[in-house]
Structure 1
Amino acid sequence: MDTQLLGNISENILGLFPMVKKKFFTYGPLDFPLHLSPNNFQALLLLREVRLSTVSDLSKQLNVSRPNMTPLLDKLVELGLADRQSCDSDRRVVNVAITEEGDAFCEQVFHAFSNKIQERLVLLPEEDLLHLGETLNELKRILLKIDNYTL
């Protein structure tokens, strides 16, 4: 495997994160009805994807210590975005599920993000938009393959 190629790809991927943030999310605030920390929001997005999880699994997936998960989840539960549920088979295990309100909130946030991105993209010529769309589709297709390979 060409290590220089891998290095260049990883540098480009890492360089995308701050560029996307700067280009799309520094031109005026997003107006959300709730104020969540980035960690709260990440936990909520993960719950949206998995629907139901143990606190331990969420902790591992988010790379957040189990004791630090408690206040993150407390905030989501307090806002009605998630719900704690005891496990029938093991009372030591606590499950967390996203609520309908949590799903609706995620939809609202995605809509706001989408609008903010579209406001910036509209400035590009159609040729660039077409090329960007094709490139992003190809990137997504390739990235989805990563989990299919094992080390």
Structure 2
Amino acid sequence: MEVENNKLKAVTVLLRASQAIQEVMRKDVAQHGMNPTEFAVLELLYHKGEQPIQVIGKKILIASSSITYVVDKLEQKEYVVRKGCPTDRRVIYASITPKGQELMDNIFPQHESKLEEIFDELNAGEVNEVIELLKRIGHHAAKL
């Protein structure tokens, strides 16, 4: 019985920690006039280069129906442009603009510091342990 209660408690603790981390991230990116989804798309393009729009949603874990709206918003802010694929007209790429690149050059180091600050309570070994345990739980849950 106690093991089952601990498992329920673990889920609650995990979800609350996730909410707290998401709130820190939301506040951080809101300072720059973006929501977390817009920032995630911009961060992906910043680090990985242009991406097919159809692939972005899978990489940042948002619904494909939302990605068009998010790219539209980033395009309006002149952080992203759409580009057609020269070999397949069905594929449209999103690419970061020089304005988007400059923004991320300025704000990403601060954002990265904020994320590192979240884990200040843990040493490097504990961070790696958290990563491994959460991967195991996630992979197992995905099979259920």
Q: Report the CA distance shift for 1:13/1:31 in structure 2 as closer, same or farther (over 3 A).
A: closer
2:113 and 2:91 map into 1 onto residues whose CA distance is 40
Query: What's the counterpart of residue 63 of structure 2?
Result: 64
The 5-angstrom pairing of residues 28-107 of structure 1 reads 32=31, 34-61=32-59, 62-66=61-65, 68-107=66-105
TM norm structure 1: 0.60
- Give aligned pairs, total: 136
Task: Compute the displacement of 1:72 (Å).
Answer: 1.6
Q: Report the CA distance shift for 1:31/1:64 in structure 2 as closer, same or farther (over 3 A).
A: closer
Query: What's the counterpart of residue 17 of structure 2?
Result: 16
Contact 2:28-2:111 within 8 A present in 1 as well: no
Q: Report the CA distance shift for 1:30/1:102 in structure 2 as closer, same or farther (over 3 A).
A: closer
CA shift digits 1:65-110 (9 cap, x unpaired) = 43x4333212222333222111111112111123444344234333
Structure 2 portions without partners, runs of 5+: none
2:43 and 2:15 map into 1 onto residues whose CA distance is 21
Q: Report the CA distance shift for 1:112/1:57 in structure 2 as closer, same or farther (over 3 A).
A: same
Higher helix share: 2
Q: Report the CA distance shift for 1:64/1:133 in structure 2 as closer, same or farther (over 3 A).
A: same
Contact 2:29-2:35 within 8 A present in 1 as well: no
Matched residue type, 2:92: V
2:7 and 2:90 map into 1 onto residues whose CA distance is 44
TM norm structure 2: 0.62
Q: RCO greater where, 1 or 2, for CA within 8 Å and sep 6 or more?
A: 1
2:12 and 2:38 map into 1 onto residues whose CA distance is 28
Percent identity, aligned pairs only?
A: 21
SS at match of 1:89: coil
